[in-house]
Amino acid sequence: MTLAVPGASSAPALEIVPLGGLGEFGMNMMAVSFGDTLVLVDAGVMFPDPELPGVDQVIPDLAYLEQRAGGAAALVLTHGHEDHIGAIAHVLPFVRGPVYGSPLTLALAKAKLERRGVEAGDRLVAVKPGERVQAGDLEIEFIRVTHSIPDALALAIRTPVGTVVHTGDFKIDQTPLDGGHFDFQRFAALGAEGVLVLLSDSTNVERPGFTGSEYDVVEAFEELFASTRGRLVVTAFATSIYRMQILANLAAEFGRKLAFVGRGMIEHAQVAQDLGYLSVPPGILIREADVRGYAPREVLCVTTGSQGEPLAALSRIAVATHRHVAVEPGDRVVFSARAIPGNERAINRVVNHLARRGAEVVTAADRRVHVSGHGSAEELKLMLSLVRPRYFVPIHGEFRQRSHYARLAARLAAGASQTTTVMAEDGDVLRFDGASGGVAGRVQAGRVLIDGSGTGEVDDEVLRDRRHLAEDGLIVPVITIDKQTGLVVGRPDVITRGLVLDPSADELLADAARIISEALAETSDEERTDRGLVTEKIRVELRRCFKKRAGRRPLVLPVIMEI
């Protein structure tokens, strides 16, 4: 049930404000405060829905932090996935103290800051499970959990009115590749000591039983390595370090060379190797530029693009525009990642292009080539049973998942009153004073749209909120394409709104139409039938044109009509 606390007391109390992650998958961010001490947990992004063309990322609204005098005493990162660290460059200006995280998490975060030109100096402080740090009135303990990426941490935050346990993302992997086991004992000990609030991941609550181990994909991949006579291409998230390790080991066992393909995959693999989280057997690693020099049966490519991203390496491989990697009949392409809701159409487009090349596509629906990083129902029940909190707040997920977890908690309690479930949304202020707890009010919360330089890079990201739209305006190029042939019909129209141009605007708009026509003329017939690729290409070219000619970075929303 949800409790409301009328008339919040002026006496110091623990306040927890979810700024993202309660109502969506991704954008995870939580503010925990007591008195003047504020600590932030995670700074994540969410990737945009298909109906938000021109938007690269979505981050939490930071108005709450702007209004907090003095900023946050610390930022704590639970692990290195984008939905937990992707917004760090935007959040760091509101943090006056250190950024805590495990070594791998901080290495990935540091790379993001450097690409944005943000200097963190000595503020990135690496921690290990079992360590504790002090931030004002709050003490933070780090607890080992298992997830789909190494170095994942849960938190025990001690406050003057009680302990808060934040699980981060977790599953209970009893055969972890790195030997770092889930710390059952510490969670049980915290439960015995007494926990005021449990904030727990709800992502996979609708799945019965237990989530499999990362090792569970080995059998399916062994069969694929043994039976594939051509090139083997595996696409996964760039942070799937465990999956990279399994594939590297199998490549050595089956005599294939290993090439990491795509900027994100190459960078993450290098970071993981530098820190010792990825060990590639000697003699098998080659550059993506060397792939063409080997027979298809001798190569394994591990690439980005599992979500059908138009500019990712796999999308370019699928339409035969990648400089170094191609697929042909006899090759296999394996999707070793879950489809993020909303990306199904983009993924299907890539699959169709791969099929046209003659490649066989394998997904998790065909073989067990992917295993989730989030605990299923039995693991989530076990977490509740170990911690035995006074208040329970389901986090990470849409209302459907969180309400399901709440029902699970009610069944575990079996009518007892020792645990009270508090259902919260982004922006709710949860107040706990030792005697009572629940929703005490609301603060401004929501989503801010982020647009990059138009090439998928994050170097020149700018806030794409209403103020930005008012300053830089909107461009809507309208292109008509023959559905059967992929040919452009007529001349593109370019419509602008809120964009202040000089008297030569007519000439600029005419040039913009010409640029669209030239860009489309340079694409193949097959590419022109892929709306995602065409949209991204037009957006890139028009943003470059208007930046150079008008000094503006307008939002470009291509409209493609098929006839």
How open is the CA angle 185-186-187, to the nearest 5 degrees? 95
CA dihedral 234, 238, 241, 246 (to 10 degrees): 0
Dig out the tokens for 507 from the structure.
């000439």
Count Cβ atoms below 10 Å from residue 481 Cβ, excluding itself. Answer: 19
Contacts of residue 6, defined as CB under 8 A and 6 or more positions apart, other chains included, come to: none
Hey, is 422 helix, strand or coil?
coil
Active-site residue list: 201, 374
CB contact at 8 A, 294 and 193: no
- Reported as half-sphere exposure (CB side, CA atoms, 13 A), residue 556 has a value of 29
Dig out the tokens for 459 from the structure.
């170097």
One-letter-per-residue 3-state SS of 67-119: CCCCCECEEECCCCCHHHHCCHHHHHHHECCCEEECHHHHHHHHHHHHHCCCC
Alpha helices, H only, 446-490: 466-472
Dig out the tokens for 530 from the structure.
């892929």
Hey, is 149 helix, strand or coil?
coil
Give the bridge partners for 299, in sequence order.
Answer: 257
133: left (phi over 0), alpha (psi -120 to 50) or beta: beta
Hey, is 159 helix, strand or coil?
strand
Strand order through the sheet with 257-261:
285-286, 257-261, 299-303, 232-235, 332-335, 360-362
Tell me the C-alpha distance between 171 and 121, whole Å.
Answer: 33
Report DSSP state, residue 446.
-
Dig out the tokens for 431 from the structure.
């107040």
Count Cβ atoms below 10 Å from residue 458 Cβ, excluding itself. Answer: 17
The pairing of strands 555-556 and 474-481 is parallel
Contacts of residue 520, defined as CB under 8 A and 6 or more positions apart, other chains included, come to: 479, 488, 528, 534, 537, 538
Count Cβ atoms below 10 Å from residue 415 Cβ, excluding itself. Answer: 6
Tell me the C-alpha distance between 225 and 223, whole Å.
Answer: 6
Tell me the C-alpha distance between 112 and 88, whole Å.
Answer: 8
